[in-house]
Amino acid sequence: MGKIMAVVTADKEQVAGGAPIFLVPNAEELQKVAFKLEKILDASAHDLQNGVMILVDHKSSSE
């Protein structure tokens, strides 16, 4: 099972609790922050298509 390492969103109403949440002002910024986080955390960015992106570490599940 993958583990959610971070959540990035421009819509504050969509998210709460759990993993670290990064609030961004717009969709463009969403991509930029998610891009950086992907490289930093070595976790894949997935788009939930509701303005929220999650960074999931799939590796911890396979090891």
Partner 1 sequence: MLHWIAEQKYTIGIVLGVVFGMLARLSMLRTDYRQYPTYPHGKIIHISLGFIAAGLGAVAVPSLLDKNYTAVTFLTVAAQQFRDVRNMERQTLSKIDSMELVPRGATYIEGIAMVFEGRNYMVIFTAFVTALFSIVFAWYWGIIAGILAILLTNHFKSGKSICHIADVKTAQVKMDGPNLFVDDIYIMNVGLDDTREIIRKRGIGLIVTPKNKNCRVTIANIGQRQALLHDLSTIMGVYRDEGEPSLLPLAKLDMGDGRLAVFLLPQELDAEKARKVLLQSPVLESAVRMPSEADVQKAGKEGA
Provide the binding-site residues for partner 1, judged by CB under 8 A.
31, 34-35, 38-39, 42-47, 49, 53-54, 57-59
Closest separation in Å from C-beta 24 to partner 1:
13
Nearest to 22 by CA among 11, 40, 12, 7: 7
For 37: left if phi > 0, alpha if psi spans -120 to 50, otherwise beta; the answer is alpha
Closest separation in Å from C-beta 41 to partner 1:
9
Closest separation in Å from C-beta 12 to partner 1:
19
